[in-house]
Amino acid sequence: MMPPLTGIQIVEFEGIGPGPLAGRMLADMGAQVTVIARPQKSAVDERMGAATNPMRRGKRTVTLDLKQADDVATALQLITQADALLEGNRPGVMEKLGLGPADCAAHNPRLVYGRMTGWGQSGPLAQSAGHDLNYVALTGLLSLSAHKGQMPMVPPTVVGDASGALGLAFGMVCSLLEARSSGKGRVVDGAIVDVLAMLGSIAQWVRASGQLDGVSPSPFHDSPFYDVYRCVDGGFITLAALEPQFYALALSKLGLSDVDPAAQYDTRQWPDFKARLTRLFASQTRAHWCALLEGTDACFAPVLSLKDAACHPHNVARGIYHTAADNSIQVAAAPRFLPLITSSDTGADRHEQR
């Protein structure tokens, strides 16, 4: 059988982590995905070190410098011919490049514009850096993995059951799209073990670079800059400053001027520095560290309970949770859908605003 998304054209602006994985999932379903890559490797790509980027499997790559007008024009030509676009930049970056939804809509009004972020397009944390550990912490889900008073790590039901549900839903949508054109249905075999293994593609890539499942110390298990720390009041916070610029900012915010940011990946220093950070974070309350670090690019988030997560200002601003009549906490559907072009993007409204 032909893959269900055969004939679908997608332009992916390359980032790290979940965005490229979403693109690969679509490519695996038959979509033709064109990756627009930067001329320079990111700090994370440099750390990976693998000759082949597995997130590019099944995709074709075009290298463009989006600071150059000609390359932006080339990107717009690709977008004009596409069915969909994927990007994982901070809110506002694509607009500054002239590649935001309104810009693209002028060339292709039927475009599906996919945006992958950690914190969302809006809310008080929208412009802050973060990583997986921080996002799981702020939803309250990280807290579910710990016995009372102990250090939390991986939340139950989310990694396996929820991933399987997401994979099945994805497969169903792919098949529904194909059936709409072919008139033929198909069985979607959504085994959790298959879906979970596929979602582990990023971890497999990290493993290939020697940073997981090997004899060398792992940034995700042994480093001082990606971990959960206990505070003096018994609360916990997360730090996930993997990139050099975010690590340097975290050191500055914490007043650790004697620590060399360039030595971030000197694994010989990790045990002593992790012990130092453990003592430092244990010297103050969780609220103290939130006041100092939250909303910055230190890649920080407090570990919240499910109840506290529903009250956090960022989650409230985004309307993620609401309390039902029976006082149960209900979670909003995700992802969200917005118009490609809004009334404020129209020529008439722009003229009025002048």
CATH number assigned to the domain comprising residue 138: 3.30.1540.10
Residues 78 and 136 reside in one and the same domain: no
Q: Is residue 193 part of a domain?
A: no
- Nearest in space to 302 (alpha carbons), one of 145, 156, 142, 127: 142
Residues 95 and 225 reside in one and the same domain: no
Q: Is residue 186 part of a domain?
A: no
Over 50: is that where the pLDDT of 354 sits?
Answer: no
Tell me the average pLDDT across 27-44: 88
- What 3 state SS string does 223-275 have? CCCEEEEECCCCCEEEEECCCHHHHHHHHHHCCCCCCCHHHCCCHHHHHHHHH
Asked which of 118, 143, 165 is the last residue of a domain, the reply is 118
Residues 8 and 137 reside in one and the same domain: no
Residues 80 and 143 reside in one and the same domain: no
CATH number at residue 109: 3.40.50.10540
Residues 214 and 298 reside in one and the same domain: yes
Catalytic residue positions, numbered: 131, 161
Residues 150 and 89 reside in one and the same domain: no
Residues 34 and 150 reside in one and the same domain: no
Q: What is the pLDDT of residues 94-114, one digit of tens each?
A: 999 999 999 999 999 999 999
Domain that holds residue 85: 1-118
- What 3 state SS string does 10-37 have? EEEECCCCHHHHHHHHHHHCCCEEEEEE
Q: What is the pLDDT of residues 322-339, one digit of tens each?
A: 998 889 898 988 888 888
97 in Cβ contact with 66 (< 8 Å): yes
Could you give the CA distance from residue 47 to residue 66 in angstroms, rounded to a whole number? 23
Could you give the CA distance from residue 140 to residue 309 in angstroms, rounded to a whole number? 5
- Computed over every residue of the chain, the mean pLDDT equals 89
